[in-house]
Chain A
Amino acid sequence: MRIATVGIVAILLALAAPAKAKDETPQYKTAEAKHFTTAEGVELTPAFVDYFYAELRSELTKAKLAGEVIGEGEAVDEADAPQSLVITGTITEYKKGSVAKAALIGFGAGLRSLKMDADVTRRSDKQNLCVLHVHVKVDPRWNEQVMAKSAANLMVKEMKKALKEGAKPPA
C-alpha cells in the first residue's frame, strides 16, 4: 500500500514538472545583447568579444528570459519596447594567468581571470533595470573561449536573479 502511494506521488510529480515548465512564460518580449566593449589595457582579441556575444545570446535563449533574443541593431515594434531589454557591457579587467603558478602553487594562484560589468536597460525609456558585475576565474590551460562560455553562463544566471528580485513588489 505504502509503495503504491509513493509510486502515485512520484508519477504525479513527474507529470506536474513539465506542466510547470510549459506554463513559465518569458518575462520580457525581446532581449538585445550588444557586443561588449573592452576597457583600456584589456588585451583580448575581437574574436573573443564576438564569441562572448554569441554565447551570451545562446544563454539568453536557453534561460527563456525573453520571448525572442534579437541581434544587435535590430528594430523592435514600438508596442513591444516597454517589455524589451537591452544588454550592454564592458570587459573591465583580464589577467592571462600563469600555468607555472597554477601548477606549482595551486589554491587558486595563477588562474586566468576576467571581470566584466553589464547594464540591463528597458528599451522604451532607457531605465536601468539592473547592474551586474561578473568575475570569472578559469584554469590558465583552458582557452579564452571556455572562459567566455562560463562568463556568459554566469552573467545570464545573475541577470535572471536580479530581474526576478527587481520584479518583486517592495515589502
Chain B
Amino acid sequence: MAQRSSLHLAATVLLLAGLAGLAGTACSQASADEPKPKPENTISIQIGDPVPPQKFAHPPKFWIADVIDRSGNPQPMLVMKERGGVFLDKQPTAIVREALEQSLKAANLMAADAGSADLVVRVYLFHFGLAAGSGLDFFGKVEFSTIVKNPKTEQSQEVKAAGTSIAKGAVRKKNLQKNVQEDIEAALHDAMRNFLRGTQLKDAVAALWDQAEAAPAKGEASKPPAS
C-alpha cells in the first residue's frame, strides 16, 4: 500500500516537472520571439514640411508645456510586432512635440519661453502609430487632445485633433518598413494640420482672447475712482 502511494507521488512529481519544463520552454520561446530594437528595424518619423497654421484675428504666441502619453501602450516605441518588429527611434511624445514646435516656429507663433507665451498648450497623446486595419494595407493614426490655457486669466479650452492615413501593404521587409514610416508620417502631418487649421483651435483662441480682454476691463471697473 505504501509502495503504491509512493509510486503515485513519484508519478505526480514527474508530471508536474514535465509541465513546468514545457511551460518554461514556451516562455523562453515567447521571449525569443519578442522583437528587439535594432538599427535595421528602427524608423525615424519626421513631419517633413511644417504645417502652415490658419490665420488668427490676434496671432498669439504658443508654448508647448507638456506632451503626456495617455495611450496606455506599454511599448509606445514598438509600432509593429510582426515580421521582427518595427520600432520608433524616439518616444511618440517627443515626435509630437517636435512636430508642433516646428510648425509653430515656421509660422512665427512660438514663444521664446513659457513666461512670454500668450497661450500654453498641454498635449495628451491618445494614439500614435498603426491601428487595426483590413490586413491588406496599413492604417496609421495619430490622435491627441490639448488643453490650451491662458496663463494670465487661468482660463482654458480643450482642442481635439486626429490624423489618419492609409498606406498600401508590403511583402518585403524593406518595403514594409518604408510604407509604415510613410503611413505614420502622413498621419502625423494630418493630425498637425487638423489641430493647427481646425475650427476648434480658432474658437478656443478667440474665446481665450475675449476672456483676456474682458478681465482687465473688469479689473479697472472694480478699482475705486481716482479722486
Interface residues of A (CB under 8 A from B): 47, 50-51, 53-55, 57-58, 70-75, 143, 145-146, 148-149
Are A47 and B132 in touch, CB under 8 angstroms?
yes
What 11 new A-B contacts, CB under 8 Å, besides A51-B134, A58-B165?
A50-B131, A51-B131, A51-B133, A54-B164, A70-B197, A71-B163, A72-B162, A73-B199, A73-B200, A146-B135, A149-B137
Interface residues of B in 99-143 (CB under 8 A from A): 131-137, 139, 141
Q: Which residue of A lies closest to B193 (CB)?
A: A71
Q: B39 → chain A, closest Cβ, in Å?
A: 31
Interface residues of B in 155-187 (CB under 8 A from A): 162-166
Measured CA separation A79–B200 after assembly (Å): 20
Q: Which residue of A lies closest to B194 (CB)?
A: A71
Question: Which of these, A47, A73, A149, contacts B194 with CB under 8 Å?
Answer: A73
Are B166 and A47 in touch, CB under 8 angstroms?
no
Chain A CB within 10 Å, residue with most, of B164, B190, B197 = B164
B165: which A residues are within 8 A, CB to CB? 54, 58
Are A53 and B164 in touch, CB under 8 angstroms?
yes
Q: A53-B164, A54-B165, A71-B163 are in contact. Are A47 and B131 (CB under 8 A)?
A: yes
Are A149 and B136 in touch, CB under 8 angstroms?
yes
Measured CA separation A71–B54 after assembly (Å): 14
A-B residue pairs in contact (CB < 8 Å), sample of 16: A50-B131, A51-B131, A53-B164, A54-B164, A55-B166, A57-B164, A58-B165, A71-B193, A71-B194, A71-B198, A72-B162, A72-B194, A145-B139, A146-B135, A149-B134, A149-B137
Are A145 and B133 in touch, CB under 8 angstroms?
yes
A47: which B residues are within 8 A, CB to CB? 131-132
Measured CA separation A143–B200 after assembly (Å): 34
Report the count of interface residues on B (CB-CB < 8 A): 23
Chain A contact residues, majority secondary structure:
helix
Q: How many contacts between A and B, using CB within 8 angstroms?
A: 59
* Top-5 shortest CB links A-B: A54-B164, A145-B134, A71-B194, A58-B166, A146-B134
A73: which B residues are within 8 A, CB to CB? 194, 198-200
Chain B contact residues, majority secondary structure:
mixed
Question: Which of these, B141, B190, B198, B202, contacts A50 with CB under 8 Å?
Answer: B141
B164: which A residues are within 8 A, CB to CB? 50, 53-54, 57
Measured CA separation A157–B127 after assembly (Å): 31
B166: which A residues are within 8 A, CB to CB? 54-55, 57-58
Q: Which residue of B lies closest to A74 (CB)?
A: B197
Measured CA separation A18–B143 after assembly (Å): 38
Q: B127 → chain A, closest Cβ, in Å?
A: 9
Are B193 and A74 in touch, CB under 8 angstroms?
yes
Are A143 and B135 in touch, CB under 8 angstroms?
yes
A50: which B residues are within 8 A, CB to CB? 131, 141, 164
Measured CA separation A72–B195 after assembly (Å): 10
A145: which B residues are within 8 A, CB to CB? 132-135, 139
Measured CA separation A74–B189 after assembly (Å): 14
Q: Which residue of A lies closest to B137 (CB)?
A: A149
A55: which B residues are within 8 A, CB to CB? 166
Measured CA separation A39–B42 after assembly (Å): 42
Measured CA separation A57–B137 after assembly (Å): 15
A53: which B residues are within 8 A, CB to CB? 164
